[in-house]
Amino acid sequence: MPRVNRTTVLTLLIITSSVFLLFQLHYYRKYVSKQGPYILSRTGHLTANDIQWVSQLKKFLGLARHFGLPLFLADTAALTLLSQDSLRQRDRLVHEPHCSFLCTGRPVTSFALHANLWKYEPGFLLAAKQKGFELLELRGQDPRLASLDNLSGEEIPLHFLFRLHGHIIQVVFLYERSGNYLWHGELRLKAHVDRSFAPFKLLDYGRHPGSYDRPELVLTVVDGIDVRIPRNISRFLSEQRQARFLECRYRDARNFLQLYPDDVSPDAVDFRRKVKSLLHLAGRTLAQLDIPFWLSSGTCLGWFRQCSVISYSRDVDIGIFIGDFRSDIVSAFRSAGLSLKHKFGKVEDSLELSFLSEDVKLDIFFFYGDGDVVWNGGTQAKSGKKFKYIFPRFSLCWAELLDLKVRVPCETLDYVTANYGASWSVPVRSWDWKSSPSNVQRNGEWPRAEWAELIQVY
Amino acid sequence: METWTPNPRAKPFIPRQQRSLYLTWKYKLTNKRTIRRFCQAGAMLFLLITVIVNIKLILDTRRVADEDAAAQEHEDPIPNMETPRKPANGRKVLDIEVYSSRSKVYVAVDGTTVLEDDMREQGRGIHVIVLNQATGHVMAKRIFDTYSPHEDDAMILFLNMVTRGRVLIFTIKDEGTFHLKDAAKNLLKSLGSQVSLNLNWRDMWTLVVKKGGQVYGEKHTKSPALSTWGDPVLLKTEVQLTASEEAECHWPDNELNRRRKLFCSKVEGYGSICGCKDPATIEFNPDPLPNNNVFNVPVAVIAGNRPNYLYRMLRSLLSAHGVNPQMITVFIDGYYEEPMDVVELFGLKGVQHTPISIKNARVSQHYKASLTATFNLHPEANFAIVIEEDLDISIDFFSFLSQTLHLLEEDDSLYCISAWNDQGYEHTAEDPALLYRVESMPGLGWVLKKSLYKDELEPKWPTPEKLWDWDMWMRMPEQRKGRECVIPDVSRSYHFGIIGLNMNGYFHEVYFKKHKFNTVPNVQLTNVDSLKQDAYEVEIQNLFKEAEVLDHTKNPCEDSFLPDSEGKTYVMFIKMETETDTSTWTELAKCLHVWDLDVRGYHRGLWRLFRKRNHVLVVAAPISPYSFTVGDVTERKT
């Protein structure tokens, strides 16, 4: 009876698969949705959870205010909603109660705090505990002590996580650094810390250290709660997306300087001073044009290898993606007091600008993408020969050099190794830009007819 | 059904589309084959959904696992370094070995060496170690160079401060009796020593006692002759540990006392701070200053391994009116525990610095690291206050700085404000409200401008291989560039350090002990803006106008050189042909008992000081520009 068999088999299959399916659904709900209990958010009507959550936040911010801690809202999800809905917010002010912004559907809300306003205040933490908040305090090394001197102080608070009813309030400590920017630390769990305290992956802050310009804050009412927010939300959010900060590798730099002590002759001291002022000037000028740049070549190597400037390098090298090129760069630098020394190539190919300030040269190399590599060009003025320097693709991070917040390739080691080979850690004083770099390639010649246009030397 | 005949009674044809849904289903379901098809399709659908859900489940599980991994990523890779403590209940008896000889001393507790000193030309005198009677931990280690004067007084002070019941271990290295006076010997006797009264030149000696209790052992060898030392002594003994409750006090539980308890369980020799009854306070709450301009100026305390100095210094600093403990950072040169314990006792921030280089260069590198770190820790600060650990701080230290700080901002010809007057001794300083300009940087409690440090000093600070004093370097013309410092007539700091790199008891007695130190609170400084470059010259001209020239036929070293007046201004001249011609000044300084080791505290060849309550202007002629103007004055008067 094959037919009967087939039906039975089918029926059995259906039953088992339904049972299996039901089990899986049950399991799925139980395991996966544990992370996000706020599925029903932003639907207009409030859930009981939302109301509870808003009152908790109110309580928490009230405590912070009472203890004189001016927290500001730094939550990316909430700020995104705020920046989109800034008009609708006004209308909503009349309705009570509501939770349009702070109930983001995420179990985490982040606030930031200027650390110099934090005085170790057991009262605040105690009061928070009394209100039912559980606290996870994450501390770490003080980066302001990290320098070529070997200093160690007590650990400073980096992140506070307050938990109530499965919801996390993250307080990020922003420290003022000497390059006139704010810094927050990486969130690292020590061995004895409860790993299930919070969904750490969902935190906006702490995966990497980050750096920010000091945001201007305004006091506003969000969902019926008084809270400070950055005045320019979209700027803050775009900073947040690319805030990753790299600390200079001071330990390695110290070792390097043990082997090759720094030149402290008056000339070298003077050169470093000039480089510092030139770099600050370049930073200011390009910031006005809103052009991101990074340290390249020798200047990048100096930062990476010795957290300083290579005193015999005689110039400052920075890189800019050609997509960010603006035709008013030259005039901006000129009005900043620099003179154009030469201009090689064109926007489509191998563009390179050189400016002069006192006797220090600022080389601006423009980088072109090509598949999985990026490259910049070089031109020999007298022969019209073209060269090409090839780097693996990289992203940009913030770093500090000479009291200035600057970008460097996040994959600095790859970048430096591409440029200087595996022996980048050995100083080379005689350097030929056409042959010494390990990533240099011949790239033909400029047609002689176009020399006047493409090789401009002043 | 081969042939078809229309049935007249048949229902009229209804198009399929119009058939009701119900009927469609009914029709379909009645068809077995359709049912089977349908079931098959359903099964397929179920299987498909199962597969999809499975895939989703796998993906989600992986996501969750990723999150776990991410959480793992956040983990600190450094393992917990803390090693478990040995159970204290294991043994109740400590084996102690103490060795005393000319060139080496050591102390071993239960086989662990807690003191070993065999360095040449170092560690001379009596070494004292204090052990906790309950745990056997070392609570204090001190050397008293009782070959030199006054060190025995320091030892008496220290021994009196040790809590009763602690175990004291004494041992002599090289020589420890030359300036060990009877008071100290008697104290040792009262502690239980049998031989202390007979301790003599180059004797070797060891002693282990419980303060206010039994003697565990004592050994002594006499030196046979003046030129030789006593034979080395090795004392081996056992100490019975007591229950820990007996060794602790019961203070009320609060934040301050938790710090106190931690401190007192670790270290000894701080006296009443660890007393069980009415311990000395560690919180001072001095009056705030109205209009405090230095409340947010960071204070860098430069420290080495002199914890009892640091303790004394911090007490006076934290008692000064207008202090802001939040801004104080103590920079310790080296990874010493006890100074850090002192810092934590007062609830302050401490930073330890790995020492670089040796001697003066080490101090100089420590200064540089500390100043750099200070401005890194406080990027918003434009000034820093720098204080050494061997200073007492005047009660109006911050008030003094608050009133003068603006001068540094407004007058580019100034490069520091210092609390110290090199020539301000008990008999030569008078007016706490009076300020001077001087060309030599005195240090010893001073304010540094950030721009001066960052733009000028830091980039060319002496490198570790240069064995220079940082302060001498700062005074060099290349750094000073003709700029001056503002100082008070009566110093706002007092240098009490006896032990130090460039310091010993004799030196301190002669040059520092009689230094005048302001103890009056809230002194209102007079005419602060007259300290600016041009105004100060006017001020000095005015002084000369009212000044009388002293009778130069008399001996300037004699008291009678000055008339028995009060509150008058006098001028005297000394010979100084060139910058380096300092012999006349040195001679005068010697007989006036002021600083005579180098030339300090002058402004364009003019020293200002007080004698017999009169203001005396000492003019170096002819090098000082004032020697001519005053010359005219003199001529007119005579």
Return the half-sphere exposure (C-beta side, CA atoms, 13 A cut-off) of residue B257.
Answer: 12
Q: Which of residues 470-529 of B touch A (CB under 8 A)?
A: none
- What's the confidence (pLDDT) of residue A165? 82
Distance between CA atoms of A78 and A170, rounded to whole angstroms?
13
A contacts of B46 (beta carbons < 8 Å): 13-14, 17-18, 21
How far the first Cα of chain A sits from its last, in Å, is: 98
Select from A412, A379, A385, A423 the least CA-distant residue to A297: A412
Select from A193, A199, A213 the least CA-distant residue to A170: A199
Residues of chain A under the 70 pLDDT cut: 1-4, 28-48, 85-100, 120-121
Select from A274, A269, A457 the least CA-distant residue to A360: A274
- What's the confidence (pLDDT) of residue B87? 41
Within chain B, what is the greatest distance between any pair of CA atoms?
Answer: 165
Q: Which of residues 12-41 of B touch A (CB under 8 A)?
A: 36, 39-40
Three-state SS letters, B367-399: HHHHHHHHHHHCCCCCEEEEEECCEEECCCHHH
What phi and psi values does residue A94 have, to the nearest 5 degrees? -70, -35
Whether residue A10 and residue B39 make contact (CB cut-off 8 A), yes or no, is: yes
Select from A335, A342, A297 the least CA-distant residue to A316: A297
pLDDT tens, position by position, B312-358:
999 999 999 999 999 999 999 988 888 999 999 998 999 999 888 77
- What's the confidence (pLDDT) of residue A54? 79
How many Å separate Cα B308 from the centre of its chain?
A: 11
Q: Which of residues 188-207 of B touch A (CB under 8 A)?
A: none
B302: left (phi over 0), alpha (psi -120 to 50) or beta: beta
Whether residue B74 and residue A206 make contact (CB cut-off 8 A), yes or no, is: yes
Select from B442, B440, B468, B453 the least CA-distant residue to B365: B468
Cβ atoms B419, B432 nearer than 8 A: no
A178 touching chain B per CB within 8 A? yes
Whether residue B57 and residue A24 make contact (CB cut-off 8 A), yes or no, is: yes
- What's the confidence (pLDDT) of residue B449? 94
Length of chain B: 638
- What's the confidence (pLDDT) of residue B635? 37
Long-range contacts formed by A267-272: CB under 8 A, 24+ apart: A268/A311, A268/A312, A269/B459, A269/B460, A271/A309, A271/A311, A271/A314, A271/A360, A272/A308, A272/A309, A272/A311, A272/A402, A272/B459
For A182, the token pair is 């704010």
B80 touching chain A per CB within 8 A? yes
Distance between CA atoms of A408 and A294, rounded to whole angstroms?
5
Mutate to test the interface with B, among A4, A7, A12, A17 (most CBs of B within 10 A): A17
Whether residue B75 and residue A190 make contact (CB cut-off 8 A), yes or no, is: yes
Select from B138, B147, B136, B190 the least CA-distant residue to B172: B147
The residues that bridge with B96 in the sheet, in sequence order, are: B109, B237
- What's the confidence (pLDDT) of residue B502? 60
Three-state SS letters, B139-177: EEEEEECCCCCCHHHHHHHHHHHCCCCCEEEEEEECCCC
* Nearest Cβ partner for A32 among B39, B64, B68: B64
- What's the confidence (pLDDT) of residue B84? 34
- What's the confidence (pLDDT) of residue A16? 83
Residues of chain B under the 50 pLDDT cut: 1-2, 71-72, 75-89, 631-638
For residue B243, the surrounding DSSP H or E stretch is: none
- What's the confidence (pLDDT) of residue B607? 92
What phi and psi values does residue A327 have, to the nearest 5 degrees? -70, -20
A contacts of B50 (beta carbons < 8 Å): 17, 20-21, 24
Whether residue B352 and residue A154 make contact (CB cut-off 8 A), yes or no, is: no
- What's the confidence (pLDDT) of residue A58? 84
Distance between CA atoms of B387 and B604, rounded to whole angstroms?
27
Considering the entire predicted model, what is its pTM? 0.78
Sheet containing B614-622: give its strands across.
B548-549, B569-576, B614-622, B606-611
A191: left (phi over 0), alpha (psi -120 to 50) or beta: alpha
- What's the confidence (pLDDT) of residue A139? 87
Interface contacts A/B by beta carbons within 8 Å: 140
Whether residue A147 and residue B372 make contact (CB cut-off 8 A), yes or no, is: yes
- What's the confidence (pLDDT) of residue A62? 85
* Nearest Cβ partner for B351 among A145, A186, A403: A145
Contacts for B422 with CB less than 8 Å, ≥ 6 apart:
B438, B440, B442, B594, B595, B600, B601
What phi and psi values does residue A218 have, to the nearest 5 degrees? -130, 145
- What's the confidence (pLDDT) of residue B332? 93
Cβ atoms B486, B410 nearer than 8 A: no
pLDDT tens, position by position, B249-284:
888 888 888 889 889 888 888 878 888 888 888 888
